[in-house]
Chains A and B, each alone.
Chain A
């Protein structure tokens, strides 16, 4: 299991357009990726490719989230998703 932490950069938090961009990118990656707020138990982690899950996560601007994945290519996949989270898509 590989983990990466990222700080949500979008001013509106992880919903609306930023959530759509992130879910779409997560959905295009062949490995399964989960997302949770930092400090939340691993079993509360949600499917990162689900825009509805992302919206219910309620991550605001500046919140730290944890991405997790297994398998081949997981590290690269997580790195690319961290970059998306740490970009302000409203700017």
Chain B
């Protein structure tokens, strides 16, 4: 029996066989020639490899629907594309091996697409992916990407990239475990969105042999091979509990009746409908990037208004907090952001793009106002990455010019938390984005597994910034509201601390609503305040988390 420990990022206890995510395909050596073959045999070998990859992608496309299907179908066409194969065949005629030929042809085509810019440039990754698949096929290696299996499995990897996760099927995969990555990595965010148990930064799990049976505890952050009776019981209990946790009706209160509205983070009308079905009282974070992604030009006001209106209409009596365009860093947009910045996380992103591309924000606010005009939902608007009271004032002016009455700011830059009183004097509310707030407070990149301990919202420094924001808002005026819309709000123990610190509303993935509500209803406001004090006083993140969890026995009972 061997055990691995890492950071638990999404609760749940399961048992199943593990499959490793295959590593990246390595580049065939430059100048590699075909030997003991002929031009005809080598081109035929390439063609059949390409056809096999095409067939594999087509059969995967047949299993999914919507955008994922369209992407896979287009990628399948690329695999045996006449242009790609023709360039490769020219190289084969000159003596190059099929593997090297398709590798170079892929680069040529990718460069050509990149040169065209915009939407085409964004497709270069698809061409390079297809090329790697063909090389793997020719060499008899496992295809890159999520392995296929006829029974549910635990997916192990070094880390998962957004591209890997696009095709991840939550009915096939029962847990995610990675040797790298932090609590805010794509793996963690995806796992929470899908409600899959997950452990990240568990050194060694990327070397466990395929098929090994494992027990994964996504709350404790542990992985165990050769599970025994105890683990089987724990997994069975979790399966039962997760069913009961799935029935939440909305209206969250603490044990003594203190109301804590639970809202959802959504990125489209479809998300919003799912969130409403899961019991969300409204939307605490409407990401508007969905209107802008995959576009090389700005969407029109009418297009935007229609998309926002779709979300507003899901919550006719609720609140919808819309975040204006948050481009830059990990969400580049060709018409707004400069991809050559040396340090995009500290670059022109979020509200800051207003300084380099003025007008886009004004038009977006106009679209929001138009969508809100006949909607009955309460529409609040906030700007991301606001660092100063001046920026908050400018944003409030833009909102009022557009006819929007409830302007707010995201607090994710530590300076905004430190000067919360001045900032909140300019706007009606603040929403804490714990992912970025943690990254900036601790100066630790969200994606780096090596910094997982620093990039932890339980760090007392981050908790102090939350408290400063709440205190600053109270000093700025009794009616100023403070919410949290970061991933951390989805951790039930952390949610208790946030409520104890005085946060008014919590917004999270729809999947997490029931668990958070169950745990909040087990404590009084005074108990939550006491746990928050303990967390603030803790010397480190581990102790903060440990002491709060020790004060919440319901977590153990529910397996959270």
> B84 contacts which chain A residues (CB < 8 A)?
50, 52
With both chains docked as a complex, state the minimum distance between the C-beta of A67 and any C-beta of chain B, in angstroms.
16
Contact B74 A58 (CB under 8 A): no
Contact B119 A15 (CB under 8 A): yes
Q: Which single residue of chain B is at the shortest CB-CB distance from A13? A: B119
> B390 contacts which chain A residues (CB < 8 A)?
none
Query: What CA separation (Å) do A90 and B109 show in the bound complex?
Result: 26
Q: Which single residue of chain B is at the shortest CB-CB distance from A55? A: B120
Contact B74 A16 (CB under 8 A): yes
Contact B120 A49 (CB under 8 A): no
With both chains docked as a complex, state the minimum distance between the C-beta of B42 and any C-beta of chain A, in angstroms.
21
Q: Which of B77, B119, B127 contacts A20 (CB 8 A)?
A: B77
Any chain A CB within 8 A of the CB of B44?
no
Chain B contributes a number of interface residues (CB within 8 A of A) equal to: 17
Q: Which of A15, A23, A24 contacts B120 (CB 8 A)?
A: A15
Any chain A CB within 8 A of the CB of B363?
no
Q: Which of A17, A27, A52, A56 contacts B78 (CB 8 A)?
A: A52
Any chain B CB within 8 A of the CB of A81?
no
Query: What CA separation (Å) do A20 and B84 show in the bound complex?
Result: 15
Contact A50 B83 (CB under 8 A): yes
Contact A56 B113 (CB under 8 A): yes
Contact A47 B83 (CB under 8 A): yes
Contact A17 B83 (CB under 8 A): no
Any chain B CB within 8 A of the CB of A37?
no
Main secondary structure of the interface of B (DSSP, over half): helix
Q: Which single residue of chain A is at the shortest CB-CB distance from B84? A: A52
Contact B70 A52 (CB under 8 A): no
- Which interface residue of B70, B81, B109, B112 has the most chain A CB atoms within 10 A? B81
Contact A19 B74 (CB under 8 A): yes
Main secondary structure of the interface of A (DSSP, over half): helix
> A17 contacts which chain B residues (CB < 8 A)?
70, 74
With both chains docked as a complex, state the minimum distance between the C-beta of B435 and any C-beta of chain A, in angstroms.
30
Contact A16 B82 (CB under 8 A): no
Query: What CA separation (Å) do A24 and B54 show in the bound complex?
Result: 12
Query: What CA separation (Å) do A50 and B84 show in the bound complex?
Result: 8
Query: What CA separation (Å) do A76 and B112 show in the bound complex?
Result: 33
Q: Which residues of B in the span 197-247 have a Cβ within 8 Å of any Cβ on A? A: none
Query: What CA separation (Å) do A56 and B371 show in the bound complex?
Result: 37
With both chains docked as a complex, state the minimum distance between the C-beta of A71 and any C-beta of chain B, in angstroms.
18
With both chains docked as a complex, state the minimum distance between the C-beta of B353 and any C-beta of chain A, in angstroms.
24
Contact B82 A20 (CB under 8 A): no
Query: What CA separation (Å) do A56 and B127 show in the bound complex?
Result: 13
With both chains docked as a complex, state the minimum distance between the C-beta of A48 and any C-beta of chain B, in angstroms.
10
Contact B120 A58 (CB under 8 A): yes
Contact A56 B116 (CB under 8 A): yes
In the complex where A17-B70, A20-B70 touch, is A51 in contact with B116 (Cβ < 8 A)? no
Query: What CA separation (Å) do A47 and B81 show in the bound complex?
Result: 10
Q: Which of A16, A27, A50 contacts B119 (CB 8 A)?
A: A16
Query: What CA separation (Å) do A23 and B439 show in the bound complex?
Result: 45
Q: Which of A27, A47, A49, A51 contacts B74 (CB 8 A)?
A: A51
Query: What CA separation (Å) do A20 and B74 show in the bound complex?
Result: 5
Q: Which residues of B in the span 162-196 have a Cβ within 8 Å of any Cβ on A? A: none
- Which interface residue of B74, B78, B112, B120 has the most chain A CB atoms within 10 A? B74
Any chain A CB within 8 A of the CB of B543?
no
With both chains docked as a complex, state the minimum distance between the C-beta of B364 and any C-beta of chain A, in angstroms.
20
Contact A47 B82 (CB under 8 A): yes
> B123 contacts which chain A residues (CB < 8 A)?
15, 55
Q: Which residues of B in the span 61-114 have a Cβ within 8 Å of any Cβ on A? A: 70, 73-74, 77-78, 81-84, 109, 112-113
> A16 contacts which chain B residues (CB < 8 A)?
70, 74, 119
With both chains docked as a complex, state the minimum distance between the C-beta of B72 and any C-beta of chain A, in angstroms.
10
With both chains docked as a complex, state the minimum distance between the C-beta of B194 and any C-beta of chain A, in angstroms.
25
Q: Which residues of B in the span 115-137 have a Cβ within 8 Å of any Cβ on A? A: 116, 119-120, 123, 127
> B119 contacts which chain A residues (CB < 8 A)?
12, 15-16
> B74 contacts which chain A residues (CB < 8 A)?
16-17, 19-20, 51
Q: Which single residue of chain A is at the shortest CB-CB distance from B74? A: A20
Contact B82 A56 (CB under 8 A): no
Contact B70 A50 (CB under 8 A): no
> A58 contacts which chain B residues (CB < 8 A)?
116, 120
Contact B116 A52 (CB under 8 A): no
Known contacts A20-B77, A52-B113; 9 additional CB pairs below 8 A are: A17-B70, A27-B77, A50-B81, A50-B82, A50-B84, A51-B77, A52-B78, A56-B112, A58-B116
Q: Which 5 A-B pairs have the closest CB atoms?
A: A50-B83, A20-B74, A51-B77, A50-B82, A52-B83
Q: List 27 A-B contacts (CB under 8 A).
A: A15-B123, A16-B74, A16-B119, A17-B74, A19-B74, A20-B70, A20-B73, A20-B77, A24-B73, A24-B77, A46-B83, A47-B82, A47-B83, A49-B82, A50-B83, A50-B84, A51-B81, A52-B81, A52-B83, A53-B82, A55-B113, A55-B120, A55-B123, A56-B112, A56-B116, A56-B120, A58-B120
